[in-house]
Structure formats: structure tokens, C-alpha cells
């Protein structure tokens, strides 16, 4: 592949157009105690204090960086891309406490990321010439430093530690597919192949201890959490409470195992930092334990409320009982006798009125008899990271219910809904669909969980159904694909593509989309994964996720409300541009190194989905919704036939070889929009404002 410069200059340093400064970073607890502190952190001038703190606390490697390095020669790799290792001879000459340190400059981080991507990209044959690799490296460094785009957190945590510093360690049980041989291989080290993927979907079988089962899932999740990744699973294969076991007993049910997984996730800090592990739990709406699952977090939230209110009431009233026992106007035992001590009697009645346990009231009086004048009782608060929330279950996962079109129709029809046993597919219970729907709605209102995943629609838009159904998602639900696959993400910062006059730099945005699509592709090539299945399927499908951030900031800066036709039009146009460029880049990559191995099996499905995207975003305008292919519920019209969108749709059609419907009138209308879009695109020189005026 060939690359051209847009942000950098040939022969100049990749950061040459940017200024840097030295800053301090300090993070404190609410009580004022210092959690983290770093001085003389080198960051780009435009970095905010928040960005500086995140980089210094979360993404800088804190230890193990050799003070002296040397290059490892590789005959097939340009010398400027050779990886580095500790220079043991030079290190031996330094005092022991000066031999290893941590990262202190963002330039170090940007270099290890962009350098690693370029190194593996070169080895994978993605660059036509060495100059193309150099252009790619420089442009990626610039985009990182200018906050134009960013990869997901595991890239910041892990990518480049081996390439830039020679950091390594024993294998952690990971696997990868060798891109040269196509063979599944067990990783020999911890960092040579990094774990750059943030989003995982893992299967779990109804088995307690064997590979692929419940306890094995906790181990696989731990491997992911340790390196900063998140994972989601559909637990609907697990038997419901009371279902029979092969040994003759009864299953303890889904919820007992979800509590174990929740505790395991809570014990691990993602990427070794203070961020919590990211975990998604999904359960089908026909599971026998669905009602208990829906109520789970509601009940746990009520426990927190009880802990907070109860602890503060107990502290208050027990203190009042203790104070009443100190009445010096009474002699001896009279102070501790409520029949003679009116203040004590009043305090006891007040404590009983708010349900303070009687044994606690009597314990305070006994303490007072022994000469104590104060009593401590720990109180709790509702801070999300407080001990109250650490005490209850269900706080380390996002919970979702998987609903089908059949269930939603049953809700509308006020019909019955059957909960199905996992072992024999018998009916465990028959409930009113609307009652369960009300329970879900109340739970979401009360504690923000569970969310909904629309199973039928998700699978109707599935690009690779030959590999199986989509059953679950990653923790944030932007990645929905096959079980035992992974996706690495990157986001483009839309505000960095906005000109001072309010226009949007479309050519720069398209340029960035192409570079970052390749970056995500290279990240699949270089990655290792926590299980054989994920390594194999990620190689066979090569899923990647390109998105954007700051759409809200862009709309506000443009003077458009978030919930407006104009806002939706801008968002749709930008999304179409990004999607079209990414599809085109994917086709370009395939022309160089071949399509992903499972493409041919799924080609017709992929083209069907592309066709439905075209219909959803353009052709609905011409009242031809009947052209949707295999959709139970037609897409909602976007009403966004901007020139940018039509231009990108044309590109998607060309790249995807989509055959359009044969209606001449419809062809004429769509072609007219595309031709007009080209003229406007040329006339506007990539300025988005004329596109919005055309609307």
C-alpha cells in the first residue's frame, strides 16, 4: 500500500509541527490523600490537565524501562524499525537504582505505539516501499500527539513494550496465529505479541470445571482484565435453579455462578491500574432464571441504601444512648437503668423506633458500665467506589437481556411467555410477557440495568452468519459478533477536524480513516489472545472497530442541539464517510494481502448487509422500503441524503459489488444524487457546510 503525507513533512521529525511542555500530574482521593504524583511529564502543549493525568497515571509504563538500549538487527526490516533490548553492558556501568525507570514523556508512548504498528506492518507486507512505511509512522505519531485519534486502552498499556524496550516475561497462557504459516501457536512470552484488543466476546458452556466451562471462563477473563481488556458472554446455556444434574442433584442456578464471576472481576484492576475490570453479562429472555437476573441489581442497590441509612442511624442513636449513660446527676447503677434515667429511656425508645437492634442498644449500655464514654460505629456512603458497593454483588458488570421479536410481539399482544429449561428444552414456567417487560423497565429505572439487546435485529444485520449466531456483545455493546472473537478499537476526535470557521475537514478525516483502518488491521496480525478459539477466529474474521468521539462537542460548537434533525444529519454524514472509507481501505488491503479467510463463505451476507445500509440511508427517501433484504423490522429512515453520504454510498457500492434493484426509476434517482454529490464535493473542496445547505 502507498501512503502520502498530510500532517507531516518529509525529512522532519514527526512531532516537528507540534509544541511540547513539561507538566505535573497529581491525583487525590476525596479525603485529600495523594494517590498518584508525577513531575516533569512531557506532553503536547494542547493537552488538558485531564489528558495529562490520564496519560501519566494510566498509560505511562511505570517501571522496567532500561536506561540504556541497543537495537536488534533484522535483515528483512529497515534499520530504523529494528526493535530495542536492554544494553546489559552499558547498564552494568550505571548505579543499580538508575538502570531502570519509567516513561516520563508522551513522545516515548507515541513512538512505541506507532513504531510497533509500523514494524509489524512491514513484516506483514502492508507497505509498497520503505518510504510508505516512514510516511505511515510519521503520520501516526502526529495524529496521536495532536489528539486526532486514539486506540483503545490495551494498546496504550501493552503495545510496544517489547519492541521499544525489550520488556518481556513468561507466557500467560495466550495464543496467536502465525501470519506467515497460518498455524495456531502458543505464545512463548508475555509481550512479544501484545494484547491490543479491548473488546472480547467469550462463550461459556454448561460445565463446571472443564475447558470452555464456567470456572475456565473466570481464568480467561482474568487474562483479559490483567492487560486492560473487557469481555462479554451470554450465560444462557447455564441451567436454571433446580434443574437436574447428571449426578442426581439439583443445579444451584445461573445466579450463583454470576456472583462468583462478579467477585473475580472485582478483584482485578484493569491493566494494573485503578480502572475497574470491564465485563458484560447477557441472558436470553426465555431463561428460567430471567426474573431473578432482572431483579439482581435492584436488590443489591436496596442493600446499599440499607447499609448507608442503617449505619448512619445506628451511629446517631447509639451515640445518644452512650451520652445518656454519662448523666452525672445520677449515682452508680442508676445511670444505666432506663427506669431511673429518663434521658436513657428516651434514647432507647428513639433507637427502637428506627429499628436499631436491641442487642446493639444493650451493648452500648454495657460499654458505658465499663467506663467507656464513646462508641464507634462505621458508617457508609453511596460513592460508587465505597465499601458499601464493594460489599454487595453485581457491581462489576453491565447486565443485558437478549430480547427477540417474538417476545416483543408477545408483550404487544399481552400474551404468555414461556421460560425454557436448558437441559431438556421443557417449559420451566409460563409468565405474562408484559409483566416481565414491566419488571425490566422498573429495574432499568431503579439501577440502570439491565440494558436490552435486540437479538432478532442484530442477527438480521449479521455479516458472517455462516460462522454462527451473534449471542452477546462486549461490555459497551459497540462490538457484536461471533462468540470467541475479539475486536480492537480506535476513535477519531471530531473536534480536531473542525476548522476555525466551523467547517469540517473532510479530506483530512478520510485520510485519517484510511490510516487507522490499516492500524487496526495490523493490530490483528500482531496480537495474542487468551484462548485457542479466540486466536483462531480472530485470525479468520479479522474484526476491527473504527469509530469517532466528541460528536456532542462538535454539534455544540456548530450550534446544533444533540436531539435535532441537523444533529442527526451531521452524525449520519460523518458516519457514512467513515464507513465508506473503511470499507474501501478494507478492499484495498484485501487486494494486497488477501481477504479474511472466512470471506468467501459469507460474501453474499456481507453484500446483503451493505445493500441494506444503502437502502436505509438513501433509498428510504424514495419510498422503496420493500427492497430491504431479510429484515423483520425495516430500518428507521435517516432522512440524510447529504452529498457526503451519497458520495460514500457510491464508494460502498463500487467496493462491495452490490447489485442494485432493477427499477430504472429508482436507479435514475439514486444516480442523480450521486452525480450531484460529486459536483458539490468538487465545488466545495471538502467543506461540509454546503452539504448541510443542500439538505
Residue in 158, 341, 471, 474 annotated catalytic:
474
Distance between CA atoms of 628 and 619, rounded to whole angstroms? Answer: 10
| Alpha-carbon torsion angle 384, 388, 389, 392, nearest 10 | -170
474 flagged as catalytic: yes
478 flagged as catalytic: yes
Nearest C-alpha neighbor of 494 from the set 575, 565, 568, 559: 575
Please tell me the number of Cα atoms within 13 Å of 268 on its side-chain side: 24
- H/E stretch holding 106 reads helix 106-123
Distance between CA atoms of 494 and 557, rounded to whole angstroms? Answer: 11
3-state secondary structure of 236: coil
Distance between CA atoms of 91 and 279, rounded to whole angstroms? Answer: 42
Backbone angles phi, psi at 195, to 5 degrees: -105, 90
Distance between CA atoms of 397 and 323, rounded to whole angstroms? Answer: 44
> DSSP letter at 115?
H
Distance between CA atoms of 453 and 280, rounded to whole angstroms? Answer: 12
For residue 271, what are the contacts with CB-CB under 8 A and spacing of at least 6?
Answer: 58, 153, 154, 157, 226, 227, 228
Residue in 131, 478, 592, 657 annotated catalytic:
478
- H/E stretch holding 23 reads strand 20-28
Distance between CA atoms of 158 and 189, rounded to whole angstroms? Answer: 13
Grid look-up 489528558 returns: 51
CA-to-CA separations, 604 to 471, 601, 635, in angstroms, rounded: 21, 8, 20
357: left (phi over 0), alpha (psi -120 to 50) or beta: beta
Distance between CA atoms of 492 and 356, rounded to whole angstroms? Answer: 55
Q: 243-251 long-range CB contacts below 8 Å, 24 or more apart?
A: 243/288, 243/421, 243/422, 243/423, 243/428, 244/423
CB 583 within 8 A of CB 596: no
CB 190 within 8 A of CB 161: no
Nearest C-alpha neighbor of 493 from the set 585, 544, 563, 557: 557
Grid look-up 540504556 returns: 68
Sign of CA dihedral 557, 563, 564, 568: positive
Residue in 26, 476, 566, 588 annotated catalytic:
476
476 flagged as catalytic: yes
Q: For residue 377, how many other CB atoms are within 10 A of its CB?
A: 15
| Residues known to be catalytic | 474, 476, 478
Amino acid at each position: 500500500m502507498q501512503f502520502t503525507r498530510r500532517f507531516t513533512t518529509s525529512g522532519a521529525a514527526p512531532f516537528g509541527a507540534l509544541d511540547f511542555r513539561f507538566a505535573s500530574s497529581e491525583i487525590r482521593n476525596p479525603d485529600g490523600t495523594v494517590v498518584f504524583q508525577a513531575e516533569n511529564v512531557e506532553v503536547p502543549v494542547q493537552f488538558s490537565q485531564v489528558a495529562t493525568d490520564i496519560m501519566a497515571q494510566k498509560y505511562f509504563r511505570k517501571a522496567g524501562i532500561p536506561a540504556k538500549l541497543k537495537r536488534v538487527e533484522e535483515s528483512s526490516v529497515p534499520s530504523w524499525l529494528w526493535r530495542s533490548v536492554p544494553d546489559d553492558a552499558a547498564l552494568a556501568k550505571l548505579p543499580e537504582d538508575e538502570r531502570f525507570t519509567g516513561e516520563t514523556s508522551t513522545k516515548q508512548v507515541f513512538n512505541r505505539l506507532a513504531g510497533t504498528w509500523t514494524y509489524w506492518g512491514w513484516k506483514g507486507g502492508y507497505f509498497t516501499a520503505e518510504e510508505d512505511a516512514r510516511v505511515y509512522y510519521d503520520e501516526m505519531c502526529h495524529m496521536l500527539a495532536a489528539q486526532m485519534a486514539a486506540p483503545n486502552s490495551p494498546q496504550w498499556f501493552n503495545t510496544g513494550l517489547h519492541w521499544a524496550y525489550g520488556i518481556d516475561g513468561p507466557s500467560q497462557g495466550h495464543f496467536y496465529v502465525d501470519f506467515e504459516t497460518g498455524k495456531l501457536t502458543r505464545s512463548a512470552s508475555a509481550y512479544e505479541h501484545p494484547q491490543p484488543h479491548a473488546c472480547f466476546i467469550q462463550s461459556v458452556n454448561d460445565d463446571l470445571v472443564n475447558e470452555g466451562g464456567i470456572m475456565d471462563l473466570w481464568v480467561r477473563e482474568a487474562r483479559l482484565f490483567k492487560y486492560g481488556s473487557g469481555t462479554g458472554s451470554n450465560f444462557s446455556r447455564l441451567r436454571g435453579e433446580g434443574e437436574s444434574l447428571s449426578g442426581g442433584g439439583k443445579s444451584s442456578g445461573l445466579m450463583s455462578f454470576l456472583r462468583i464471576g462478579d467477585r473475580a472481576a472485582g478483584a482485578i484492576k484493569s491493566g494494573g491500574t485503578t480502572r475497574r475490570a470491564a465485563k458484560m453479562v447477557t441472558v436470553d429472555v426465555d431463561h428460567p432464571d430471567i426474573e431473578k437476573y432482572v431483579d439482581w441489581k435492584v436488590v443489591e442497590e436496596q442493600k446499599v441504601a440499607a447499609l448507608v441509612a442503617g449505619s448512619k442511624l445506628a451511629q446517631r442513636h447509639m451515640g445518644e444512648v452512650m451520652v445518656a449513660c454519662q448523666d452525672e446527676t445520677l449515682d452508680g447503677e442508676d445511670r444505666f437503668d432506663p427506669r431511673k434515667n429518663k434521658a436513657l429511656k428516651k434514647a432507647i425508645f428513639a433507637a427502637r423506633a428506627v429499628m436499631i437492634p436491641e442487642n446493639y442498644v444493650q451493648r452500648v449500655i454495657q460499654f458505658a458500665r465499663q467506663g467507656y464514654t464513646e462508641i464507634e460505629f462505621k458508617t457508609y456512603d453511596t460513592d460508587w467506589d465505597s465499601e458499601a458497593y464493594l460489599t454487595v454483588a453485581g457491581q462489576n458488570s453491565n447486565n443485558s437481556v437478549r430480547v427477540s421479536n417474538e417476545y416483543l410481539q408477545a408483550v404487544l399482544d399481552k400474551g404468555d411467555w414461556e421460560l425454557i429449561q436448558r437441559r431438556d428444552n421443557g417449559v420451566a414456567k409460563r409468565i405474562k410477557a408484559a409483566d416481565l417487560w414491566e419488571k425490566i423497565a422498573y429495574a432499568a429505572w431503579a439501577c440502570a440495568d439491565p440494558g436490552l439487546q435486540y437479538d432478532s435485529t442484530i442477527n438480521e444485520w449479521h455479516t458472517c452468519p455462516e460462522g454462527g449466531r451473534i449471542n452477546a456483545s462486549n461490555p459497551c455493546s459497540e462490538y457484536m459478533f461471533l462468540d470467541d472473537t475479539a475486536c480492537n478499537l480506535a476513535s477519531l476526535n471530531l473536534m480536531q477536524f473542525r476548522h476555525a470557521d466551523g467547517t469540517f475537514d473532510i479530506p483530512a478525516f478520510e485520510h485519517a480513516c484510511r490510516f487507522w483502518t490499516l492500524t487496526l488491521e495490523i493490530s490483528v496480525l500482531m496480537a495474542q489472545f487468551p484462548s485457542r478459539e479466540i486466536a483462531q477466529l480472530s485470525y479468520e474474521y479479522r474484526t476491527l472497530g473504527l469509530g469517532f468521539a466528541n460528536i456532542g462537542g462538535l454539534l455544540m460548537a456548530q450550534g446544533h442541539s444533540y436531539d435535532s434533525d441537523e444533529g442527526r444529519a451531521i452524525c449520519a454524514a460523518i458516519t457514512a464517510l467513515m464507513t465508506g472509507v473503511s470499507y474501501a481501505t478494507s478492499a484495498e488491503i484485501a487486494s494486497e494481502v488477501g481477504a479474511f479467510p472466512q470471506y468467501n463463505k459469507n460474501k453474499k451476507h456481507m453484500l446483503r448487509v451493505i445493500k441494506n445500509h444503502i437502502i436505509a440511508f438513501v433509498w428510504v427517501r424514495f419510498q422503496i422500503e420493500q427492497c430491504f433484504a431479510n429484515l423483520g423490522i425495516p430500518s428507521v429512515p435517516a432522512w440524510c441524503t447529504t452529498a457526503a453520504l451519497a458520495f460514500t454510498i457510491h464508494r460502498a457500492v463500487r467496493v462491495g459489488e452490490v447489485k442494485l434493484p432493477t427499477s430504472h426509476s429508482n436507479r435514475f434517482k439514486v444516480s442523480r444524487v450521486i452525480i450531484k454529490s460529486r459536483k458539490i464535493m468538487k465545488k466545495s473542496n471538502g467543506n461540509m457546510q454546503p452539504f448541510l445547505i443542500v439538505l
